[in-house]
Amino acid sequence: MVNEFDEKAKDWDSDPNKISRARTVAEAIRNRLALGPHMEALEYGCGTGLLSFALQPYLGHITLADSSEGMLAALRGKIASSGVGNMTPIKLDLSVDSMPGQGFDLTYTLMTLHHIPNTDGILREFHRLLRPGGHLCVADLDTEDGSFHGAGFTGHRGFDRGELGERARRAGLEEASFETVFRVAKEAGGSTRDYPVFLMVARKP
């Protein structure tokens, strides 16, 4: 079944804002955590891999998961043409598929959590897939009024930081901290609006 992201995949990287968003979030993750070549990472909802391409020089291996075949096709093309050897794409929707608990040192996700109906369920999966001492980084929208996606969107209208931190804690993660790392400028209702993007970093004890 073709989904909205299959359609968007071929033009995804032609938007300079998406590229600068991914680079800025990568920088923020690197500022917060000591990355290294021993680390195994999972990017969930990777799209065309913009965030992971920015992080791959600083990590050992990255598994890039997405539920959109269109996004994964674009990503496979980019991996092949770049010659990068430490990125493995997989088709995965953790709301319905299971993944062996292989143990990641780092899981990160950018602008994907608000598309997933069951926030508690996905946080529990992220927790399960992390090794003890591993970190989860979630970059997503702060609470907004629904204008970011407009009418008909059925996902989350961003997240309240306190509530998301509490959900992370209930999923078994500790020390959730938040900072504003980016602002998406977008046309909404005839004017340009700024939508702040937070980075949450939490740790599996």
With respect to ligand SAM, which residue has the nearer C-beta, 132 or 152?
152
**By the rule CB under 6 A, 71 interacts with ligand SAM:** yes
Distance from C-alpha of 37 to C-alpha of 106, rounded to nearest angstrom: 12
| The one among 20, 82, 88, 95 contacting ligand SAM by CB under 6 A | 95
**By the rule CB under 6 A, 112 interacts with ligand SAM:** yes
With respect to ligand SAM, which residue has the nearer C-beta, 12 or 35?
12
SS3 127: helix
Q: Starting at the earlier edge strand, list the strands of the sheet with 104-110.
A: 87-91, 61-66, 40-44, 104-110, 130-141, 191-203, 174-188
Q: Which amino acid is at 154?
A: T
With respect to ligand SAM, which residue has the nearer C-beta, 29 or 46?
46
Only one of the segments 34-42, 43-51, 142-150, 173-181 lies at the binding site for ligand SAM (rule: CB under 6 A); that segment is: 43-51
Shortest Cβ 28–ligand SAM spacing (Å): 13
Torsions phi, psi of 73, nearest 5?
Answer: -65, -45
Which residue has the closest beta carbon to ligand SAM? Answer: 47
Shortest Cβ 91–ligand SAM spacing (Å): 9
**Contact present, 197 and 184 (Cβ < 8 Å):** yes
202 — alpha (psi -120 to 50), left (phi > 0) or beta? Answer: beta
**Which residues does 80 contact at the CB level (< 8 Å), separation at least 6?**
none
| The one among 67, 136, 197, 199 contacting ligand SAM by CB under 6 A | 67
**Contact present, 196 and 183 (Cβ < 8 Å):** yes
- Kindly state the number of chain residues that form the binding site for ligand SAM, as judged by CB under 6 A: 19
Shortest Cβ 155–ligand SAM spacing (Å): 8
**By the rule CB under 6 A, 119 interacts with ligand SAM:** no
Binding site for ligand SAM (CB under 6 A): 5, 18, 22, 45-47, 50-51, 66-68, 71, 93, 95, 110-112, 115-116
